[in-house]
Structure 1
Amino acid sequence: MKTLIIFAHPNPASFNAAILGAVKEELEKKGVETRIKDLYAMNWNPVLGAGDFQQLLAGNVPEDIAREQADISWADQLILISPVWWFSIPAILKGYVDRVFSMGFAYEYAEIGPRGLLSGKKVKIITTSGALEEHDKHTGMTGSIKASVAGGIFGFCGFDEIKYRNCYGVPSVTDRERQKMLQEIKEFVR
Structure 2
Amino acid sequence: MKTLIIYTHPNHESLSYAFLQKVIQGSRENPNLTDIKVLDLYEEEFNPVLVFNKDKRRRDMHTDPQLAKYREQIIWADKIVFVYPIWWGRPPAMLLGYIDQLFASGFAYQDKGGIMPEGLLKGRSVVCISTMMGPPLYPLFWLNNAHKVLMRRALFRYVGIKKVKFFEFGNMESPKGKHDEKLNKVYRYFKIIDR
Please, what TM-score do these two structures have when normalized by structure 1?
0.91
Q: What is the SS of the residue equivalent to 1:104?
A: coil
Q: Relative to structure 1, is the Cα distance of residues 144 and 52 closer, same or farther in structure 2, using a 3 angstrom cutoff?
A: farther
CA distance in 2, matches of 1:26, 1:112: 42
CA distance in 1, matches of 2:60, 2:78: 29
1:44-93 deviations in Å (ceiling 9; x for gaps): 00012115983563587222311101000000000000000011000000
1:13 equivalent to 2:16? Answer: no
CA distance in 2, matches of 1:135, 1:145: 11
List structure 1 segments (4+ residues) > 3 angstroms apart after TM superposition. Answer: 55-60, 134-138
Structure 2, unaligned stretches of length 5 or more?
none
Match of residue 91 from structure 1: 93
Identity among equivalent pairs (%): 28
Q: Relative to structure 1, is the Cα distance of residues 140 and 60 closer, same or farther in structure 2, using a 3 angstrom cutoff?
A: closer
Structure 1, unaligned stretches of length 5 or more?
none
* Bigger Cα displacement from structure 2, 147-156 vs 166-175: 166-175
Match of residue 120 from structure 1: 123
Match of residue 44 from structure 1: 46
Q: What residue identity is the alignment partner of 1:180? A: E
Q: Relative to structure 1, is the Cα distance of residues 10 and 108 closer, same or farther in structure 2, using a 3 angstrom cutoff?
A: same
The answer (yes or no) to whether the contact 2:121–2:161 under 8 Å persists in 1 is yes
Q: What residue identity is the alignment partner of 2:184? A: Q
* Shift of residue 173, structure 1, vs aligned partner: 3.4
1:129 equivalent to 2:156? Answer: no
Q: Which one has a larger percent helix, Structure 1 or Structure 2? A: 1
Q: Relative to structure 1, is the Cα distance of residues 51 and 40 closer, same or farther in structure 2, using a 3 angstrom cutoff?
A: farther
* Bigger Cα displacement from structure 2, 92-101 vs 29-38: 29-38
* Aligned residue among 34, 37, 62 for 2:36: 34
1:174 equivalent to 2:157? Answer: no
Please, what TM-score do these two structures have when normalized by structure 2?
0.89
Q: Relative to structure 1, is the Cα distance of residues 51 and 30 closer, same or farther in structure 2, using a 3 angstrom cutoff?
A: farther
* Bigger Cα displacement from structure 2, 106-115 vs 131-140: 131-140
* Shift of residue 136, structure 1, vs aligned partner: 3.7
Q: What is the SS of the residue equivalent to 1:92?
A: helix
Q: What residue identity is the alignment partner of 2:20? A: L
The answer (yes or no) to whether the contact 1:55–1:62 under 8 Å persists in 2 is no
* Residues paired across the two proteins, number: 188
* Shift of residue 134, structure 1, vs aligned partner: 4.3
CA distance in 2, matches of 1:168, 1:152: 23
Q: Relative to structure 1, is the Cα distance of residues 94 and 165 closer, same or farther in structure 2, using a 3 angstrom cutoff?
A: same
The answer (yes or no) to whether the contact 2:139–2:146 under 8 Å persists in 1 is no
Q: What residue identity is the alignment partner of 2:187? A: K
